[in-house]
Structure 1
């Protein structure tokens, strides 16, 4: 793993990206940019490298400049800077997050998710927590997770706002135990299961006995021990066993058997205060192994020695993963 010292061609590619994505480039500047690309194959390679890794966060750049005029140039200077003394790294990282459209609130959110601050229980980045509920059930939250707990005389209900949980359900014949997500709900018919809330779908897997899944669209499915499904409001898809459906995170690790590198990065993100960005090419690299969740820099450094990837850190707040050129 290295700390970036930007070469002149990459520096120029970053400069062009900022200029073009700011929304202020005139037609003549775009012609100059096209000429710059055609001038040297190294220019095109640098542009593809920068655009491929930073394409998603750069989509928010224009709105960042509207909200905070002058942040664009400040972020540019930070991104183009060479490795700085440790005292400057936090400032450099903060400006990089402004470039990515996050700003101060984003930096706070990377430590403690802001969306979960009003939840009954929540975990910070890199934190796991086990809670004994009033009925004796054990609820374990993965990093960056948030839940609300609503117990009544007729039902035990846990609302998963974000992240991932496993629950060991205490027996109570009078009150069913339900975990609700944005796409549906999972009711315990046994003792132990896991639920994950994703961006557009949820995932449920059963470690002991079975559960009843009901989606918001009215679909139903019984899930047995060892099975896993992803679901939306209108669709249920059985899942083959992968790192997404396993509970290795309870022991602070993730195990992959011939899965894409993107799966490992997704598992590491809740444990990494800084942002992890991976290029589409690197995301497809296949990975085998068992990896600790608590030391992302060490894990990525080891991978860079055995896989055809390179890992570059821009201070403590941004890490880019790409294939080796």
Structure 2
């Protein structure tokens, strides 16, 4: 079976919501026709069903419903003696609280990139903090820029070249075996013929390449001197569902990727799955000019799960302070300081 595309998941999520709201014979007939149209549709719908089945018991759990009301109202604060019990269900509560915004629904507020050159065969493109933009290339490929990102594109008859200078980008590559699509980010070069993948540049020129479909090869970019004195690098092949992580302080690592989590930013959302609060705050801060900070770094070791709207720092703060022993110490135009609850 071919790999599932995010379009199949998007349609499956829409059908799941529609069937919940409309149980008519006509709706079921249309749903059956959609299932029969492509075997991947059934697989995508079953994946959505499994996710919701895992939450089915919690949806009617009184503790979860109470936590959800607290998160939305932000009028109650958990104390340490209640924290252990609440933490066990907070991930489910957050997931349910944001279920009205399906993971695969596009964000209509995304604004186009600032164009600093021609969009036909190349140019320079960037997004500001909180922006997301789609760029259609002349060969039929497309690039989606995440928040605060920059790329330079240059096409030649022999090769399609992209340089990710900062941030994160998604690449949907049109097939052309005679004209490779090459993305350079940090000290890595990614080569694809026809595929879909995500590249993210982090602190210290760390690079993460995540492959959703097809195949790509990833290799180091050598300086002229390195090419003279070193053996040619051996490219690493990535298959769908794999990611390559490169950083200065750790060996190059190939890992299994959580594709839904990696791709969620393209729908204007941020997904956490048992991540530390420090990691979650760093990710939320990428999408807003208002920065969230912790007065005590020890609080950053708390664990967070859930789906949040990118750029909605206040909603994130309300949810966190509603379920953890944390309170807002001060609030300014561009800074929210969190501290342990008294």
TM-score range, shorter chain: 0.5 to 0.7
SS of residue paired to 1:166: strand
Shift of 1:206: 0.6
Q: Does 1:220 align with 2:235?
A: yes
Which of 179, 182, 185 is equivalent to 2:186? Answer: 182
Q: What RMSD in Å do the two structures reach over aligned CA positions?
A: 2.8
Distance 1:249 1:312, change over 3 A: farther
Distance in structure 2 (CA, Å) of the matches to 1:293 and 1:144: 13
| Correspondence for 2:211 | 206
Distance 1:170 1:240, change over 3 A: closer
Question: 1:169-318 residue pairs with structure 2 within 5 A?
Answer: 169-200=173-204, 201-216=206-221, 218=233, 220-232=235-247, 235-241=251-257, 246-278=262-294, 279-318=296-335
Shift of 1:117: 7.7
SS of residue paired to 1:283: helix
Distance in structure 2 (CA, Å) of the matches to 1:149 and 1:187: 14
Question: 1:82-93 residue pairs with structure 2 within 5 A?
Answer: none
Question: 1:1-325 residue pairs with structure 2 within 5 A?
Answer: 120-200=124-204, 201-216=206-221, 218=233, 220-232=235-247, 235-241=251-257, 246-278=262-294, 279-325=296-342
8 Å Cα contact 2:261/2:272 also seen in 1: no
**Once the two structures are superposed, what CA deviation does each residue of 1:97-144 show, in whole Å capped at 9, x if it has no partner?**
xxxxxxxxxxxxxxxx9xx98981111111100010111111001111
Q: Which moved more, 1:214-223 or 1:194-203?
A: 214-223
In structure 1, list runs of 5 or more residues that go unmatched: 2-112
In structure 2, list runs of 5 or more residues that go unmatched: 1-70, 72-112, 118-122, 223-232
Shift of 1:245: 6.3
**Once the two structures are superposed, what CA deviation does each residue of 1:136-185 show, in whole Å capped at 9, x if it has no partner?**
11100111111000111111111001100001101122210011011211
8 Å Cα contact 1:204/1:245 also seen in 2: no
SS of residue paired to 1:247: helix
Distance in structure 1 (CA, Å) of the matches to 2:193 and 2:129: 31
Normalising by the residue count of structure 2, what TM-score does the alignment of the two structures yield?
0.57
8 Å Cα contact 2:173/2:193 also seen in 1: no
Distance in structure 2 (CA, Å) of the matches to 1:240 and 1:210: 14
SS of residue paired to 2:167: strand
Distance in structure 1 (CA, Å) of the matches to 2:329 and 2:137: 43
Distance 1:286 1:219, change over 3 A: farther
| Correspondence for 1:13 | none
Normalising by the residue count of structure 1, what TM-score does the alignment of the two structures yield?
0.60
